[in-house]
Structure 1
């Protein structure tokens, strides 16, 4: 039996490249609802009340070239998980008032809203249904769908309550990536890192998780099979963190990477590796909340 990644694994901080830092800060504060934790000349950290741990880091790329959606391997969206349905209703009401284009979907396990930042980095804001309402098949795959969302019900949950941004307890629930192709991607994330395959969409996408979650990482080839990695001088995903709960869990992943001859390096306790599409991952130790 293969070694599984620790069940308490989660997605940590996500670092995005942007073309105009102040414009992006303004967007993530006023539209998305994150708060500014810190800012330097070329970067910023954004989070939520009750925590100094950033959910997103932004880094400005000088002379950035424009990036179209689905133009290469890299970010499809980063998903911010709010703690309850009322919070999602408040976010929906605020997004409507902001005038941004809003996508939406009821995935059965969750209700989700989709927007894009000024550089076409995808953002999902969602809430989970209780785990007892999720349905799994005999193969251990979770049932998900792309049904219309109950927009009126969400707005009714919000009522007349004021919107003060995304609330305490919001996390990066998952990340969804465009990848170059699926077979080697599955081998890397499932056989080497140790995630479980929990859902798929024909031959175009798969979803993986730790600890019975509906998915921590989505992986698709919707940018095209063989799509090159989004270049470093374009806006997009710089890296994302896979957070494991202790050093033993990190070292178990490290050992599997070494056994599979995957190139890696370490930096001050972080294991840095790239997936088969070239997407950089930081494997960090972070005690569960």
Structure 2
């Protein structure tokens, strides 16, 4: 399962804006099991392995709550190394009484909930890629009930003790204002492949035949506006690229479709979702 390393392009870090840093830190440490990598008065960087940041949170001075029906974050998705890890965190969430949703997507088993600001979170474990069903270049994904009884019956070596080393940012799922220009940006610009479509409402894209590194949907309405710049929610996310050569190639592709890229390699999709291109 090498879908989050070279030579692929994948999501590295998600950067969020929150209303109260201390409240968010308590949630991300005690409920999810992140460790603090770095912290200032208004920002914090969170990690699973003590080295790589997976999530950063920031409390801007003029922050306002989320407003509905805008573009931006639908959820970010934390990928656990094993199914036993997922069983462990299910057991832990039951013990602390966390309210959550769940789904069996065939390619993966997933839990869904939100942080104190309403930022959507998925925690999931992948099924082996050899079990994924592909047809005409598209991977088959469903929204079936998760079999908690069977999941919790698997053998586990130890109880939940925070996010294990090997946890990565599995994917990000975004609200966008429309799909045609968005698809062009992510495929012709950033070089992703469409691996699944949900009617004319959502598409899922990846590199290296992963089931998806990015999800894109119009469920907040076609033409949905971007949120206010000082709103709680997604600040930006990082795409990790395998080389400087690949980044230069992508920058040229983005410019060829009319997208702007700053000198520090920040770009925006057609809905205003900000993306940092990192090697």
Report if TM-score (shorter chain) is over 0.5: yes
Distance 2:155 2:222 in 1: 41
1:32 paired to 2:32: yes
Distance 2:18 2:69 in 1: 16
Aligned to 2:278: 284
Quote how far apart the aligned CAs of 1:8 are: 1.2
Q: 1:119 aligns with which of 110, 117, 120?
A: 117
Quote how far apart the aligned CAs of 1:99 are: 1.9
Distance 2:163 2:253 in 1: 37
Quote how far apart the aligned CAs of 1:158 are: 6.3
Q: Is the 8 A contact 1:272 1:282 kept in 2?
A: yes
Distance 1:106 1:236 in 2: 26
Distance 2:64 2:229 in 1: 10
Q: Is the 8 A contact 1:109 1:129 kept in 2?
A: yes
Q: Is the 8 A contact 2:11 2:172 kept in 1?
A: yes
Quote how far apart the aligned CAs of 1:71 are: 2.8
Number of positions where the alignment pairs a residue of Structure 1 with one of Structure 2: 274
1:273 paired to 2:264: no
1:220 paired to 2:217: yes
Aligned to 1:3: none
Aligned runs of 1:52-67 on 2, under 5 Å? 52-67=51-66
Aligned to 1:83: 81
Distance 1:90 1:106 in 2: 17
Distance 1:133 1:142 in 2: 11
Distance 1:272 1:161 in 2: 42
Quote how far apart the aligned CAs of 1:177 are: 0.2
Quote how far apart the aligned CAs of 1:234 are: 1.3
Question: How well do the aligned residues superpose, as a CA RMSD in angstroms?
Answer: 1.4
Aligned to 1:257: 254
Q: Is the 8 A contact 1:78 1:176 kept in 2?
A: yes
Distance 2:241 2:268 in 1: 17
Q: Deviation string for 1:27-49 (max 9, x for gaps)?
A: 00111111111110100010113
Q: 2:101 aligns with which of 81, 99, 103?
A: 103
1:168 paired to 2:178: no
Aligned to 1:232: 229
Distance 2:236 2:121 in 1: 15
Aligned to 2:179: 182
Q: Which runs of 5+ in 2 are unaligned?
A: 1-5
Quote how far apart the aligned CAs of 1:157 are: 2.8
Aligned to 2:132: 134
Distance 1:233 1:97 in 2: 35
Quote how far apart the aligned CAs of 1:92 are: 1.0
Distance 1:168 1:208 in 2: 26
Quote how far apart the aligned CAs of 1:247 are: 0.8
Secondary structure (helix, strand or coil) at the match of 1:264 reads: coil
Quote how far apart the aligned CAs of 1:134 are: 0.4
Quote how far apart the aligned CAs of 1:65 are: 2.0
Aligned to 2:69: 71
Indicate how the Cα distance of structure 1 residues 157 and 254 shifts in structure 2: closer, same or farther if over 3 A, else same.
same
Distance 1:260 1:202 in 2: 25
